[in-house]
Structure 1
Amino acid sequence: MRHRDRQSRFLLAGSLAIAIVTSLICIGAALAHEATPTAALPQGWSYPFACCANYDCKEVPQSSISERPEGYVIKDTGEVIAYRDKRVKDSPDGEYHWCAHQAGLDAGKTICLFVPPPSY
């Protein structure tokens, strides 16, 4: 009987260790969603969790965003985001990044829009 008790304890301890390690990995992954490295920021940067929930953001080409007097236009959806809208953020790497519901699908509604700083 003692052998079985040791085996059971060993299996339980191993299962618990695996569960703890898996939880720590998941927590670490949930803290930030990384932007792809660029020439301006070769190490990349982290999207704020409030914008991406760890999967909703992606870099988009400049041609995907246009500007009108009333704000930024997301060409794929036609959505207009006012220049002073709290969802508009400065882009750390000078590229456009769009964060939208539905895991970044183009049909989504904008959560955050990272835009390059205006050039002078």
Structure 2
Amino acid sequence: MSRPAAILLAVMIAAPAAAHDATPTAAQPNGWTYPFSCCSGMDCREIRDQAVLEGPRGYVIKLTGELITPRDTRIRNSPDGQFHHCTVAGEPRGRTICLFVPPRSF
């Protein structure tokens, strides 16, 4: 291995992992950081309101059909008022780790 490659590898290994941030919105112009318990750098993303059905039994993720009940600890308040879905390995059809939901007015 060349010296520059070895130095680059050492820096990459020694550098702390960057936090995974939600993109800025009008409600959160600086963005916000997903909690480590939900995301390991690639697992979370904003999803459209239409991707989630909200009903009396909880939230249904349309893509997977997964039901997340209201008392489920995976439900989190969304700091920016948008839905965010964190899944295993960041796969859109993966099992839900966290679901950030916007506040409701009812």
TM-score of the alignment, normalized to the shorter chain, above 0.5: yes
**Normalising to structure 2: TM-score of the pair?**
0.86
Counterpart pick for 2:13 among 23, 27, 32: 23
Following TM superposition, by how much is the alpha carbon of 1:70 offset from its aligned partner in structure 2, in angstroms? Answer: 0.9
- Distance (whole Å) between structure 1 residues aligned to residue 28 and residue 10 of structure 2: 33
C-alpha displacement at 1:17, in angstroms? Answer: 6.2
Q: 2:67 aligns with which of 59, 80, 96?
A: 80
Is the aligned partner of 1:64 residue 2:51?
yes
Q: TM-score, normalised by structure 1?
A: 0.77
SS for the counterpart of 1:43 is: coil
Aligned partner of 1:109 in structure 2 is: 95
Tell me the percent identity: 49
2:25 and 2:8 mapped to 1: Cα distance? 36
Which structure shows the bigger proportion of residues in helix conformation?
A: 1
Alpha-carbon RMSD: 2.0
Deviation at 1:16, TM superposition (A): 7.9
What is the alpha-carbon distance in structure 1 between the residues aligned to residue 41 and residue 22 of structure 2? Answer: 11
How far residue 23 of structure 1 moved from its aligned partner, in angstroms, is 3.2
Structure showing greater radius of gyration is: 1
Give structure 1 stretches of 5+ with no counterpart: 1-11
Q: Give the structure 1 partner of residue 28 of structure 2.
A: 41
1:22 partner letter = M
Once the two structures are superposed, residues 10-40 of structure 1 have per-residue CA deviations (whole angstroms, 9 ceiling, x without a partner) of: xx8x888655533343x141xx210011111
Flag the 1:19–1:107 CA change in 2: closer, same or farther, 3 A.
closer
